[in-house]
Amino acid sequence: MIDLHTHTTCSDGKDSPRTLINKAIIAGVQVLALTDHDTTSGWSIASESLRGTIELVLGAEISCLTTDGISVHVLGLLFDGENAVMQQMLEQTSDARLPRMRKIIELMRADGFDISMDDVDAAKPYGATLGRPHLADALVAKKIVKSREEAFMQLLNNGSKYYVSHAAPTPAEAISVIKSAGGVSIIAHPFASLRGRILESTDFQELVSAGLNAIEVDHRDHNPQEREALRKIAEELKLVVTGSSDYHGSGKLNLLGENRTHPAQWELLESQADKRRVLRG
């Protein structure tokens, strides 16, 4: 079982990297990618937690914005974690999340919500990449909503009056930086239309020119028609097809291994990195 997209307490997941590895082993995952939002801070603990035969793929999910303001997530796998340009991009994107959170809170306070940056800090694990799920957790702690799901549905989704984007690279920029750091890139849940505006089929060619390697087709947020359309695009553009859980621990319903990548597709993707960087215990 190959699962190439998961989150931990280093961003907005609920399991620590160590717990993630343990749960993945129990679930029977054979190849697991760690892809926290805009950070590689979980890499060392995850690597130290390896045992048995599980293989670990280190990565990150980079929050991007198109020039039209569409939010796009790019998964970077198997890049050199010490690459300065890559780390600078991750740092800039995660730093931009604080002023953005302040703006969201300001808008909510102006509407009478009793929520502050201190509440969000209290809900966020130390050092984690700050995100809306932490604000959701703060709203749950304050009994304003019952769950992350409800927080997103009512207040925090991309179409909400409280939505604010943050400075971020374009998808093409992120893809070329990942490539220059020796890694491979996957466009994450590109047709997840419930989240907000999405890319069009014709946008993929430019990303391929920037060095895109794969499309995440099998993902909980894609319906059968969306998966079919993406499979066609992948075939036309000779891109690898992946499937993954986007696991967030108890922070989302997504279960480890609920969507998977075919071994032959993984083999092809892995061969496109500049070095063999898969880790074993």
Q: Which residues bind ligand AMP (CB under 6 A)?
A: 12, 37, 63, 131-133, 148-149, 152, 248, 252
Task: From 262, 208, 218, 261, select the one nearest 238 (Cα to Cα).
Answer: 208
Q: Cβ of residue 137: shortest distance to Fe ion, in angstroms?
A: 17
Residue 88, CA distances (Å) to 57, 127, 245, 251 in order: 21, 17, 28, 28
Kindly report the number of other CB atoms within 10 A of residue 50's CB atom: 16
Q: Which is nearer to ligand AMP, 5 or 277 (CB)?
A: 5
Residue 246, interface with Fe ion (CB under 5 A)? yes
Residue 60: phi and psi, rounded to 5, are -160, 155
Of these partners, Zn ion, ligand AMP, Fe ion, none, which one is at the site of residue 148 (CB under 5 to 8 Å by kind)?
A: ligand AMP
Q: Which is nearer to ligand AMP, 148 or 260 (CB)?
A: 148
Q: Which is nearer to Zn ion, 129 or 176 (CB)?
A: 129
Residue 12, interface with Zn ion (CB under 5 A)? yes
Q: Which is nearer to ligand AMP, 152 or 162 (CB)?
A: 152
DSSP secondary structure, 96-112, as one string: THHHHHHHHHHHHHHTT
Residue 70, CA distances (Å) to 60, 100, 158, 209, 220 in order: 19, 16, 10, 19, 20
| Part in contact with Fe ion (CB under 5 A); list of ranges 60-68, 95-103, 114-122, 144-152 | 60-68
Phi-psi region of 229 (alpha: psi -120 to 50; beta: other; left: phi over 0): alpha
| Part in contact with Fe ion (CB under 5 A); list of ranges 47-55, 64-72, 171-179, 181-189 | 181-189
DSSP secondary structure, 50-65, as one string: --TT-EEEEEEEEEEE
Residue 95: phi and psi, rounded to 5, are -65, -35
Q: Cβ of residue 61: shortest distance to ligand AMP, in angstroms?
A: 7
Grouping H, G, I as helix, E, B as strand and the rest as coil, residue 250 is strand
Q: Cβ of residue 131: shortest distance to Zn ion, in angstroms?
A: 6
| Part in contact with Fe ion (CB under 5 A); list of ranges 113-121, 174-182, 184-192, 264-272 | 184-192
Of these partners, ligand AMP, Fe ion, Zn ion, none, which one is at the site of residue 252 (CB under 5 to 8 Å by kind)?
A: ligand AMP
Residue 73, interface with Fe ion (CB under 5 A)? yes
By DSSP bridging, strand 71-77 and strand 184-188 are antiparallel
Q: Contact positions toward Zn ion, by CB under 5 A?
A: 7, 12
Q: Contact positions toward Fe ion, by CB under 5 A?
A: 61, 73, 188, 246
